A and B are shown apart, each in its own frame.
Chain A
Amino acid sequence: MKKGFHLGFILLLLCSLVLSACSNNTEAEGKNKDGKVVIDFQTFWGSETRRPVIEKIVDDFNKSQDEIEVKHTFVPWGDIWTKNTAAVAAGNPADVIVNDINTVAHRAENGQSEDLSQYIDEGIKDELYPNLWETVQYKDKFYGVPFTTDTRVLFYNKDAYKEAGLDPEQPPKTWKELEDHAKKLDVKKDGIYERIGFYPTWGSFGAGSWMANADDGKGFFEGNEMYINTPNKVEALKWVAGWHKRLGAKNVQAFQAEFGSGQTNPFISEKVAIWTDIASFYTQIRDTGKDMNFGIAPIPAFKEEGRNWNEGGGFVMEIPKGAKHPKEAATFIEYLASEKAQKYWAQKNYDNVANKKAAESVLKDFTGDEKLVYEQALKNLKDTRFHPAPIDYPDYASRVDPQLEAAITGKSTPEKALQKAENDVKKLKR
């Protein structure tokens, strides 16, 4: 018995040795057997739909030249950045990584990403949407190249519009109209809502987004300047809180609980008639196969003369600090931002892409609803603002959000809540 036990330990040691030996071989010098530089490219695009698209782009790049070989690795969504933080700290990161568009400056400030202006000509910005380019700049240099973006639009149920006696070709243009339409679209039976016309914070346009929409597109911060407690933001918050009061906390909560898991969507289930979401939400409607009769419109303006301000997100390509082959990585990033790669991505994934020509040329290939939605998304980009978290107050949302919640649920007044939010945030200054 003792013999067997010792044998087991020896076997384990052997296994470990073999494993570590294997690893050393693959990492040697970062070159493959053909003498090409191997670039480790990490993304969270591992699904059946996205993986083939990114791998085709990688494959095209690998075939287009004979010095660099890109190896694509899937790392789970969200966790990819935890991994990156640890890897950068250890000096062992990937060569290219997809990262969040609204936090580029933070990583630049914290020395977690490489300054790309050393490797990529700034002229690349002319091919990309300017508001996206703004997000990657930090102290006159740029630390990422935009890849995709998203923009919020209003989806509305045309059948519900007809049923409520509204013109299905006339979506709401202002907040006032939105409210009028929503009230008509509500269906209430025995005190319980069977359908809710609209509720501002469901979907992907939160209270903060409505407040920015009311405040000429200004977020809670412009650079490091604070715009939390402004008259327009107070008014917007009052408006959001008004919906909560009108529908009743119980009804709002009941709906949220019902759809909270995200498996079913209240707009697609026709329980909510107007819905804010990113343009690619269209693919979810399409994939249910129900042939829903929906319309699309920009986010309504605060006042009649106002613009349809909305908020954008998206992803950029970055080189983490300490990457082994930044020069080659930069060459690949340039390829990812090129019209060819961007058009292919847009075509297959229905995302808004950063390259202007790619976005416009892919629109020509779309037809029907696909075209309708994409066209609106493109038009939207001119009114899309990005609100990157400010360098001095990276964690401001943790102070603002509870106050917004308190104001919406009636535990505080909008005036007091925003005053308190502003005071709390000031204390966070780094």
Chain B
Amino acid sequence: MNGSVKFYQTMKFRRYVKNTIILSILILGSLVLLTPLWWMVSTSLKTPAEIAQHPPAFMPESFQFSNYIEAWQTGPFTRWGLNTLFISVIVTIGSVFVNSFIAYGFAKIRFKGRNTLFVIILATMLIPGFVTLVPQYMLFSKLGWVNTYLPLIVPAFLGSAFFIFLLRQFMLTIPKEFSEAAIMDGASHFKIWWHIMLPLTKPALITVGIFAFNGAWNDLLGPLLYLNDENLYTLQLGLQTFKGSVQVQWHYLMSMSVTILLPTVFLFFIFQRFFMNGANISSGTKG
């Protein structure tokens, strides 16, 4: 080592500077992304008078944790929470297993018209939900399913184009040899799917699970259309009680929004590792 090399000329220093810059950009970026979230939390802890204040304060004067309790008590939120949980869990189970089974067919079984059928399935993603809204409602109404959870749950057991696509792409990356070896051993497709594909596609399944849970948990339109009995309502419908035609109860709306957000945030953190893996597949950077 030459004694005349200054600290700022060393690799260590350069790495240090590089890391500092990257870290600052990341921190700054996260702050920008976190601001709305903070705003929500901060509003949820203010009094209505403070929310109406101008200029708005970033920090509440005193933390009104009672908003959370009061908001919860304005309606049967416990009941609505359990309803939402029930629907979300069943939808998640359905989405994970059914879509994976369908995807297995498209990825691993050769049959006539497979690609055409797959394209048709993908094409259903192009139809905006609002176009099918009334016909679908009429169908479920004829079946006598209005005011039950069936219209919210059953479709999850009939496959979703996006999830099928996502899982199929993931399955295509799994070498044929696994399934071929199993076939040699006399395994049925159902067995191959259950014993080989499901364990190997875990990251993708968790991704589908989180998407499905999130979708069902945050769904407003489905419960809105199909449920007529307030006892069957979900949290998203309950949240709307704070929004009137003229006035909005911001403090309650925000505190309840934070509460409703928590389960999905926890879910995300618990499964984050898998989720990131899975999200990569859907954006096509892997496989």
Contact = CB atoms under 8 A, between A and B. Distances in A.
Interface of A: 1-2, 5, 8, 12, 15-16, 19-20, 22-24, 26-27, 40, 42, 44-48, 50-51, 73-77, 79, 82-83, 85-87, 89-92, 94, 262-266, 268-269, 271, 278, 280, 283-284, 287-290
A76 B148 contact: no
Interface string B220-247: 1100110011100000010011111111
Given A16-B154, A83-B225, A264 B148 contact: no
A19 B43 CA distance: 39
Contact of B149 (A5, A19, A262, A263): A19
B137 interface: yes
Given A46-B244, A90-B138, A92-B141, 17 more contacts: A8-B93, A20-B144, A46-B241, A73-B230, A76-B237, A76-B243, A79-B240, A82-B225, A83-B225, A87-B141, A263-B56, A265-B52, A268-B52, A268-B54, A269-B52, A271-B54, A288-B52
B263 interface: no
A94 B53 CA distance: 41
13 contacts: A16-B153, A19-B150, A23-B145, A23-B148, A51-B241, A76-B220, A82-B224, A86-B133, A86-B138, A90-B134, A94-B228, A269-B53, A280-B246
B277 to A, nearest CB: 24
Nearest to A262: B248
Given A26-B229, A46-B240, A73-B229, A20 B54 contact: no
Contact of B134 (A2, A79, A89, A262): A89
B43 A26 contact: no
Contacts of B144: 20, 23-24
B6 interface: no
Contacts of B38: none
Contact of B242 (A2, A47, A271, A289): A47
Interface in B192-238: 194, 220-221, 224-225, 228-230, 237
Point out which of A75, A91, A266 has the most chain B C-beta atoms below 10 A from its C-beta.
A75
Contact of B148 (A22, A77, A87, A262): A22
A82 B134 CA distance: 9
B20 interface: no
Interface in B143-171: 144-150, 153-154, 157
A268 B53 CA distance: 8
Contacts of B90: 12, 15
Contacts of B150: 16, 19-20
B48 A86 contact: no
B268 interface: no
A266 B54 CA distance: 8
B259 interface: no
Contact of A269 (B54, B145, B157, B221): B54
Contacts of B224: 75-76, 79, 82-83
Contacts of B237: 76
Contacts of A46: 75, 240-241, 244
Nearest to B90: A12
B153 A79 contact: no
A106 B96 CA distance: 45
B182 interface: no
A50 B138 CA distance: 32
A98 to B, nearest CB: 10
B241 A86 contact: no
Contacts of A87: 137, 141, 146
Contacts of A284: 52, 247
Contact of A288 (B49, B153, B252): B49
B51 interface: yes
B280 interface: no
Contacts of A50: 244
A332 B229 CA distance: 20
B124 interface: no
A40 B230 CA distance: 12
Contacts of B229: 26, 73
A297 B51 CA distance: 28
A8 B194 CA distance: 14
Contacts of A51: 241
Contacts of B138: 86, 89-90
A83 B224 CA distance: 7
Contacts of A287: 48-49
B228 A40 contact: yes
Interface in B29-52: 43, 48-49, 51-52
Nearest to A42: B228
A102 to B, nearest CB: 14
Contacts of B252: 48
A290 B137 CA distance: 48
A263 B249 contact: no
A74 B241 contact: yes
Nearest to B46: A263
B78 interface: no
